[in-house]
Structure 1
Amino acid sequence: MAALDWQGWLTIAVVVATLGLLLWERFTPDKVLAGAALVLMGTGVLAPTQALAGFWNPGVLTVAVLFVLVAALKSTGAIRWIGDWVLGRPRGAFAAQARLVGIASPLSAFINNTPIVAMLTSAIEHWSRRSGIAPSRLLLPMNYATILGGMCTLLGTSTNLIVAGLVHQHGGMPALRMFDPLAVGAVAAVAGGAYLLTLGRWLLPERRSALQQAADTREYVVEMLVEAAGPVAGISIGQARLRRLAGSFLVELVRDGDVHVAVAPEVRLQGGDRLVFVGVTDAVRELRRLPGLRPATEQLFKIDDAGGQRTLVEVVLSPYSPAVGKTLVESAFRSRYNAAVIAVARRGERLRVKPGDAVLQAGDTLLVETDAGFLRRHGGGADFLMASEIDGAARVHRPRALTVLALVGAMILANTVFGIDILLSAVAAAVLALLAGCVRLAELRRSLDLRLIVVIACSFALGAALERSGVAALVAAQLMAWAGADPFWTLVLVYVAAVAFTELVTNNAAAVLMFPIAVAAATQLGVQPMPFVIAIMMGASAGFITPIGYQTNLMVYGPGGYRFTDYVRVGLPLSLVVGVAVLWAIPRFWAF
């Protein structure tokens, strides 16, 4: 450590501070990584061109361009089409698990796993309600299968594209092609799939989803009628103080058979209005004390009936959501999204408090009542990891869906058969998708996750600082010392470190941080760097043990009713199985 100068020590301090802030989750990852890049640039550790080089890295640009194709797959209904086909009509839990693992895994090698998980989650929830089988028996195996499939190609996950971009930027190594990770990734996918369908399926919990937990609305939904001659008839909701109740809040107003959701405080009450309140179990006592309201003799509101004018949507909050860390009132959720929250579920349990009093967290599942345009406005945005309409009809535009699927196939063919650069083929496919009307510019703007691009691009600054300050070489030397300068055991340590970083921070940041260390280790050992590069690819995607280890883990967290311990119980053995498979396969396909 004495060999480091002030730049090396500053780099270590910035990396440690960055990891700490990411774990603290007080600030969004894009702000944390952008701040780290600015510090490194401002202190002179990196020149501006070095600190910002990630923004024009081919891997990052490819990830950005692929957002166009992902948006096209969503808007045309192609993903929903695929999701219904993958699930099919299984006769039982094991048949459904086998079908999901057997089809979703290879499918996610060619289509980014995030939209696949989103659409399959919706399909699984619908099927689970019909079959009576808990979605917790299906969602986690499906999610893990898509992660395993994504390891197999450059397109399967953004992590592989980022590593390919790092290889291109580093120089001295051959460019990675579409199927270069396939041999090792396939071994890991087969081993992981076998585990999921044997021991893993017995470790899965039997949990109810957020929707199933909210199905008995009698516990916390109260319906009141406005008396025609009462004191609240003719005054606004705000004047009647119906938005300031201690134990409940107004979800909807039904007038003359018309349902009005997320009603504004200026709306004036009329005799005969039916008001639906959601709150704690004894909220009816508070409501009965309000003059001019009386309990409805029959309850018409049903959580599991989303037909007619009522639109119920299930959303999972992303770490980027402006509502995270705030209550519904503080985040202005109702006015921002024109949606009223009916229930909040966290760690597999519905919160037994007034939804408006809960401080929201990333991964929380919210059941909201809203209008029919909610998914069009917010379904592709970064605020929600997933948004699906309860019992919403599948909307598939078959000609355009076939067009965008053909474009994705042509992009893969161009790269693998004709050797066209993946960025160029992705740009061509994206432009054609726009020209063919498969995605509109408004939908594209909602789907483009600029914050993710900032996270990835600014992570490159940390990697560059580790390499240029000598920290990467120093860490690599320490790993070699622990491994006795043996290439294989050094590879093991590199892989384990990549997995550990992935479980603690984002998978892309883990890849960028570990890449210079892995290359430095190979250089000091005098061996080929590609085995270590492949180890980074696999390890940075192997986030099975925690809900934050991989983005799709959070997507199924609430809908499956999972708890943190479920990921440890099912994911830890899977991580060990995949690790053994990867470390067995790498030396056999990539010689030192």
Structure 2
Amino acid sequence: MEALLALGWEGWLSLALVALSFVLFLRTRIAPDVVTSGALTVLLVTGVLTPAEALAGFANPGMLTVAVLYMVVSGLTETGAVSWISQALLGRPRTESGARLRLMLPAAGLSAFLNNTAVVAIFIPAVSDWARRHRLALSGLLIPLSFASIVGGTCTLIGTSTNLIVNGLYVERFQEAGFALFELAWIGLPLVITTLVFVMLTARWLLPARAPAAERFEDVRRYTAEMLVAADSPLAGKSIEAAGLRQLPGLFLAEIEREGQIMPAVSPQELLAPGDRLIFVGIIDSVVDLHRIRGLEPASDQVYKLGGPRQDRCFVEAVLSNKCPLVGLSVRAGGFRGYYNAVILALSRNGERVQRKIGDIILQAGDTLLLETRPEFILQQRNSKDFLVVSQLGDEHPLRHDRAPLAIAIVIAMVALVALKLVTMLEAALLAAGAMILTRCTPDRIARRAPDWQVLIVIATSFGIGAALEKTGAAALLAGATIDLAGGVPWLALGLLFVAAALLTALATNNVAAVLLFPVAVDTAALMQVNLTPFLVTLMVGASASFATPIGYQTNLMVFNVGGYRFGDFLRIGIPLTLAIGVTTVALVPLIWPFHG
């Protein structure tokens, strides 16, 4: 009671704002960054936090590292290296459960040695592309990706910042060697297995199943597009299915033209050959995806006669009007490229396939064209009488596949620098982002737009809210009250320490939980006259058990928007997983590191 009275209005306000934020996350559709920004504003205006304390999260190295990693990943995306990664690590799943297993195993393995934020940042675009090709719902994959990266980090001392912080506090206080690099694997590996088994068994019921956007539309425009298998294409010699050309949603391979011979009704096992002309019919998003596949190139050589590098061009959708001077002429005879400085990549007419090569098609009013051109085309033709509609397809543009090996090499160098402890993760990410821009793996305009500012604002403002909990004593009150319930039973104290750590990491961040509960863990072990190690390991795991909320860990925030999740999605699967991790930890840790001896 005395502790409650001593808390003060500042502490109660901090707790009330955290509780209100949770209610808003659960019961409304207000964006998370708006909620956390509002809470931080109240703490600043009421004087609970100084401006420096409130804004410290915006200069936090962890938050800045996430921001810069988005730029690094844009280099992988812009060069098509993402598809290399997905093919090499993820393969071709036969079921949705198989897809989750293929994803979680490499994510957990890499996170044991790499910063898990970097692992998730690299995997998100690869998984998005992979899910689209295999018609999988992202909502069933990205939460498992985040969870696997989190639990994988518990396997080694360097796997997560939480382990490093607790180990550093121990070394500083007791002047001892601390934990060995792989010592935590004794508990980390069972936790990885627990997480994998839990997700595989319960995902069907606990994860949301939201269909990809392409599957929600039936009456859509059907485009006809022609692609060539390049002479040096890595797809040559592969079957249609193995090349991934049957997995794009809303798209099918109508026929292949090879040495003047037409092959209709193509078998999935048909082997591709250099020079094959592939005729596809499908929705526009998948047609655009064709131009992002390494080894395929537009069948029209007119593409390479446009001025400037392909990476500086864009994809535009335009509808011909009856005033267009080329109506009634074939694409080739009318000289479309020379007239508009644009190349027709695909054409849609009344939702049906046009049975001709694109160059031979007679243009008609109302034809919808997918064009590759320069951005200036939109300004020049938007109000032209030649077109009824002119619109750019988001920020879609051709990729530079020739730079993919360079982009991958830059990422490997970034990881190596961190692994060898030559630079910090932030420094390595800054160097890698600069290298991506200087080598033209990603244009500077793309790199500037790469960061997800909603995610970054939530991370930065959450640091401020966590600082308020710490400054006002609210966090210490919660932790202390939980531990006091244990009495003199070490096993119960261990369980309550895990609960306190998991609760704090859900309310604030994993690092705040580790720092605040470290002295509590030390004092508890001393009062009970038992070995400290079980309590430190439990604290590491509990502070990393950020499964129940999207704001508990930055990898959860990174997948939150991309996967189309709601706050309750994390609660539904995260709370029982946290309980499973807690039971496994409390049961095994005292057996591996005994209380006595």
How far residue 165 of structure 1 moved from its aligned partner, in angstroms, is 7.7
Mapped partners of 1:47, 1:588: distance in 2: 46
Is the contact between residue 59 and residue 164 of structure 1 (CA under 8 Å) also seen in structure 2? no
Alignment of 1:18-29 (within 5 A): 18-25=21-28, 27-29=30-32
Q: 1:492 aligns with which of 491, 495, 507?
A: 495
Q: SS where residue 2 of structure 1 aligns?
A: helix
Mapped partners of 1:166, 1:50: distance in 2: 23
The AA in structure 2 aligned to 1:216 is E
Is the contact between residue 151 and residue 538 of structure 1 (CA under 8 Å) also seen in structure 2? yes
Deviations 1:436-470 (A, max 9, x none): 33333211211123343332222222222222222
Mapped partners of 1:261, 1:411: distance in 2: 38
How far residue 103 of structure 1 moved from its aligned partner, in angstroms, is 3.3
Name the residue aligned to 2:401.
397
Name the residue aligned to 1:122.
129
Alignment of 1:224-235 (within 5 A): none
The AA in structure 2 aligned to 1:151 is V
Q: 2:47 aligns with which of 26, 44, 53?
A: 44
Mapped partners of 2:186, 2:435: distance in 1: 32
- Whether 2:523 is the aligned partner of 1:521: answer no
Deviations 1:80-116 (A, max 9, x none): 2211333324456665554334334434664432552
Mapped partners of 1:589, 1:417: distance in 2: 30
Deviations 1:122-177 (A, max 9, x none): 3233224xxxxxx35x9625641452134334999xx9558968998999579999
Q: 1:534 aligns with which of 530, 540, 546?
A: 540
Mapped partners of 2:492, 2:89: distance in 1: 40
Name the residue aligned to 1:300.
351
Structure 2 CA distance for partners of 1:374 and 1:513, relative to 1, 3 Å: same
How far residue 20 of structure 1 moved from its aligned partner, in angstroms, is 3.6
Is the contact between residue 519 and residue 532 of structure 1 (CA under 8 Å) also seen in structure 2? no
Mapped partners of 1:36, 1:175: distance in 2: 38
How far residue 481 of structure 1 moved from its aligned partner, in angstroms, is 2.4
Deviations 1:215-252 (A, max 9, x none): 5329xx99xxxxxxxxxxxxxxxxxxxxxxxxxxxx9x
- Whether 2:64 is the aligned partner of 1:61: answer yes
Greater alpha carbon shift after TM alignment, 188-197 vs 74-83: 188-197
Mapped partners of 1:588, 1:447: distance in 2: 47
Aligned length: 433
Mapped partners of 1:442, 1:155: distance in 2: 38
Is the contact between residue 495 and residue 586 of structure 2 (CA under 8 Å) also seen in structure 1? yes
Is the contact between residue 463 and residue 516 of structure 1 (CA under 8 Å) also seen in structure 2? no
Structure 2 CA distance for partners of 1:498 and 1:404, relative to 1, 3 Å: farther
The AA in structure 2 aligned to 1:434 is I
Gaps of 5+ in 2: 223-283, 285-314, 325-348, 359-367, 372-381, 383-389, 527-531
Name the residue aligned to 1:85.
88
Name the residue aligned to 1:73.
76
Gaps of 5+ in 1: 129-134, 223-250, 252-258, 272-297, 312-337, 339-368, 377-392
Deviations 1:10-50 (A, max 9, x none): 33333334434444546433343334334333433333333
Is the contact between residue 181 and residue 534 of structure 1 (CA under 8 Å) also seen in structure 2? no
When normalised by structure 1's length, the TM-score is 0.57
Mapped partners of 1:513, 1:179: distance in 2: 24
Name the residue aligned to 1:550.
556
Mapped partners of 2:584, 2:37: distance in 1: 36
Name the residue aligned to 1:458.
461
- Whether 2:116 is the aligned partner of 1:113: answer no
Name the residue aligned to 1:232.
none
Name the residue aligned to 2:418.
415
The AA in structure 1 aligned to 2:126 is M
- Whether 2:216 is the aligned partner of 1:214: answer yes
Alignment of 1:17-416 (within 5 A): 17-25=20-28, 27-90=30-93, 96-107=99-110, 110=114, 111-128=118-135, 135=136, 140=140, 143-153=143-153, 160-161=160-161, 184-197=187-200, 199-200=201-202, 209-211=211-213, 213-217=215-219, 300=351, 309=369, 371-375=392-396, 395=399, 397-398=401-402, 400-416=403-419
RMSD over aligned CA atoms reads 5.2
Is the contact between residue 145 and residue 193 of structure 1 (CA under 8 Å) also seen in structure 2? no
The AA in structure 1 aligned to 2:427 is L
Structure 2 CA distance for partners of 1:410 and 1:122, relative to 1, 3 Å: closer
Structure 2 CA distance for partners of 1:181 and 1:454, relative to 1, 3 Å: farther
Name the residue aligned to 1:315.
none
Is the contact between residue 317 and residue 369 of structure 2 (CA under 8 Å) also seen in structure 1? no
When normalised by structure 2's length, the TM-score is 0.57
The AA in structure 2 aligned to 1:44 is G
Is the contact between residue 502 and residue 542 of structure 1 (CA under 8 Å) also seen in structure 2? no
The AA in structure 2 aligned to 1:429 is A
Is the contact between residue 8 and residue 469 of structure 1 (CA under 8 Å) also seen in structure 2? yes
The AA in structure 1 aligned to 2:443 is R
Mapped partners of 2:67, 2:316: distance in 1: 39
How far residue 120 of structure 1 moved from its aligned partner, in angstroms, is 1.7
- Whether 2:427 is the aligned partner of 1:438: answer no
Is the contact between residue 505 and residue 543 of structure 2 (CA under 8 Å) also seen in structure 1? no
Name the residue aligned to 1:228.
none
Is the contact between residue 78 and residue 396 of structure 1 (CA under 8 Å) also seen in structure 2? no
Structure 2 CA distance for partners of 1:106 and 1:261, relative to 1, 3 Å: same
The AA in structure 2 aligned to 1:432 is A
Is the contact between residue 505 and residue 513 of structure 2 (CA under 8 Å) also seen in structure 1? no
Is the contact between residue 184 and residue 586 of structure 1 (CA under 8 Å) also seen in structure 2? yes
Structure 2 CA distance for partners of 1:589 and 1:113, relative to 1, 3 Å: farther
Is the contact between residue 414 and residue 432 of structure 2 (CA under 8 Å) also seen in structure 1? yes
The AA in structure 2 aligned to 1:29 is P
Is the contact between residue 494 and residue 532 of structure 1 (CA under 8 Å) also seen in structure 2? yes
Q: Percent identity?
A: 29
Is the contact between residue 40 and residue 54 of structure 2 (CA under 8 Å) also seen in structure 1? yes
Instruction: Point out the structure with max Rg over C-alpha.
Output: 2
How far residue 4 of structure 1 moved from its aligned partner, in angstroms, is 2.0
The AA in structure 1 aligned to 2:75 is A
Deviations 1:383-418 (A, max 9, x none): xxxxxxxxxx9x4624x3333333333333333334
The AA in structure 1 aligned to 2:131 is I
